[in-house]
Amino acid sequence: MDAIKIYFDIGFAHIVNWTALDHILFIVALSLRYQFADWKKLIVLITAFTIGHTTTLALVVFNVVHLAKGWIEFLIPVTIAITALSNFFVKKFTFKSKFPLIYFFALIFGLIHGLGFSNDLKSLIGNGDGVIIKLLSANIGIEAGQICFVIGILCITFAAINIFKINRREYLLFVSSGIFALAIEMAAERIPW
């Protein structure tokens, strides 16, 4: 039972701290276009990201996949930049498609983000007993942390649009521009030579 709490806390702390800025920026870029009324779509979106993230965490922990850390650290801000850029193409906020492109971004880019945490988690989990429980607990902690950020983003978006009366598209473009700029700077600093 202690292992469940320990690894939940590790997963949660991986998301809910400022050293995880790249993960936070990605979650913001993913969920920025949505509001509270879109909560079902957001759950699918964040779950798609978690599925991708969990898959690569498991593949690395079980020694199936390995990618050089330099490339992972470079690719993570690239995924953030692409996701932020995709927000520029949102003209209407109706989201009628069952599987919009952003869901695929969340899933595929989740694979890359999972690689970023996988080596650290692998060294903590080791090869002993309870690997699956530890891995599952860490991923549940990650999901809980992501949900906290999504709720925060939804509250900020609600305030910006409904209280401060900022145009929804202008808000989306402004914040996405900032995320895009930060992601490009991060990617430039991390180019693996």
Instruction: Single out the residue of 79, 116, 93 nearest to residue 42, CA to CA.
Output: 93
pLDDT at site 164: 97
Q: Per residue in 160-188, pLDDT tens?
A: 999 999 999 999 999 999 999 999 999 99
User: How many structural domains compose the chain?
Assistant: 1
Q: Which span out of 32-41, 77-86, 95-104, 124-133 was modeled with the highest average pLDDT? A: 77-86
pLDDT at site 1: 66
Q: Where does the pLDDT of residue 74 fall: very low under 50, low under 70, confident under 90, or very high at 90 and above?
A: very high
Q: What is the mean pLDDT of residues 129-154?
A: 91
Q: How far apart are CA 114 and CA 62, in angstroms?
A: 14
Q: In degrees rounded to 5, what are phi and psi of residue 35?
A: -125, 180
Question: Residue with structure tokens 């809910």?
Answer: 16
Q: Per residue in 83-112, pLDDT tens?
A: 999 999 998 887 777 778 899 999 999 999
Asked if pLDDT for residue 121 goes beyond 70, the answer is: yes
Q: Where does the pLDDT of residue 133 fall: very low under 50, low under 70, confident under 90, or very high at 90 and above?
A: very high
Residues above pLDDT 90, as percent of the chain: 64
Asked if pLDDT for residue 158 goes beyond 80, the answer is: yes
Domain that holds residue 73: 2-189
Asked if pLDDT for residue 41 goes beyond 80, the answer is: yes
User: What separation in angstroms does the CA of 115 have from each of 27, 61, 71?
Assistant: 16, 10, 10
- CB-CB contact of 141 with 84 (8 Å): no
pLDDT at site 18: 80
pTM (two decimals): 0.93
Question: Residue with structure tokens 């991060």?
Answer: 186
Token duo for residue 104: 């695929």
> Mean pLDDT score of the chain, rounded to an integer?
91
Q: Cβ of 21: how many Cβ atoms within 10 Å?
A: 13
